[in-house]
Amino acid sequence: MKVNIYASSDVHGHIYPYDYAKNIPLDYSLAHLYDCYKKDKNKYKILVDNGDIIQGNSAEYFIDTTPNPIVKVMNFMDYKIWNMGNHEFNFSYPRLKKIIKDFKGTALMANSNSNFFYKYKTINLEDIKISFIGINTLLINYFEKEESLAGLVIEDPIAILNQLLNKLSKTSNVIIGMFHLGLEDENSIVNSGLYSILNNIENPQLFDVIICGHTHKSISQLFHKDILITQPAAYTKTISKIEMDFSKGVLISKNSSAINLAEFKASEEILKLYEPYHKKILEYTHEIIGYVKGIKREFNYDFEDNPLNHLLTKIMLKFSKADVVAFQIDNKEALLKNGPLRRCDLAELYSYDGGEVTTYKMKGIDLKKYILWSYDYFNYKDGKVSVNEKRADFKYKTLDVFGNIHYTIDLREKSENRLKELKYLNGKDILDSDEITVGMNEYRMNFLISKEGPLAGKTFEKISSSKYIDENFNKRGTIRELAKYYFEDLPNNTYYYNDESYFYIKY
Q: What is the mean pLDDT of each run of 10 residues along the chain (507 residues)?
A: 98 98 96 98 98 96 96 98 97 96 98 98 97 97 88 98 98 98 94 98 98 97 97 98 97 98 98 98 97 96 96 96 95 93 95 89 98 98 94 89 98 97 98 98 94 95 81 66 95 96 96
Q: How many other C-beta atoms are found inside a 10 Å radius of the C-beta of residue 383?
A: 7
Alpha helix ranges (H) inside 319-363: 343-349
Q: Please give the distance of CA 395 from its chain centroid, rounded to a whole number.
A: 8
Q: What is d(CA 177, CA 130) in angstroms, rounded to the nearest whole number? A: 11
Q: Which residues pair with 474 in a beta bridge?
A: none
Residues in contact with 471: Cβ distance below 8 Å, sequence separation at least 6, in sequence order: 147
Sign (positive/negative) of CA torsion 163, 95, 101, 69?
Answer: negative
Contacts of 89 (CB under 8 A, 6+ apart): 96, 140, 143, 144, 148, 149, 152
- Burial class from Cβ neighbours inside 10 Å (0-12, 13-18, 19+) for residue 93 reads buried
Do 207 and 176 contact (CB within 8 A), yes or no? yes
Instruction: Report the pLDDT value the prediction gives residue 473, as an integer from 0 to 100.
Output: 44
For residue 32, give the H/E element and its range: helix 30-39
Which of 425, 440, 428 has the alpha carbon at shortest distance from 502?
425
Say what the pLDDT of residue 468 is: 66
Q: Report residue 483 CA to chain centroid gap.
A: 21
The pTM score is 0.89
List the 288-293 sheet strands across, edge first: 339-342, 288-293, 494-496
Residue closest to 328 by CA, chosen among 340, 343, 342, 313: 313
Q: Cα(352)–Cα(335) distance, rounded to whole angstroms?
A: 16
Angular region, 166: left φ>0, alpha ψ -120 to 50, beta rest: alpha
User: What was the pLDDT predicted at 399?
Assistant: 96
What pLDDT score was predicted for residue 333? 87
**Residue among 310, 350, 348 at smallest CA distance from 328:** 350
Q: Give which of 30, 173, 161 is closest to 108, Cα–Cα.
A: 161
Closest by alpha carbon to 177, among 145, 213, 152, 150? Answer: 213
Q: How many residues does the chain have?
A: 507
Domains and CATH numbers, the chain: 2-281 (3.60.21.10), 287-506 (3.90.780.10)
* Cis preceding linkage at 232, omega within 30: no
> Which residues have C-beta within 8 Å of that of residue 140, sequence separation ≥ 6?
86, 89, 149, 154
Report the pLDDT value the prediction gives residue 470, as an integer from 0 to 100. Answer: 54
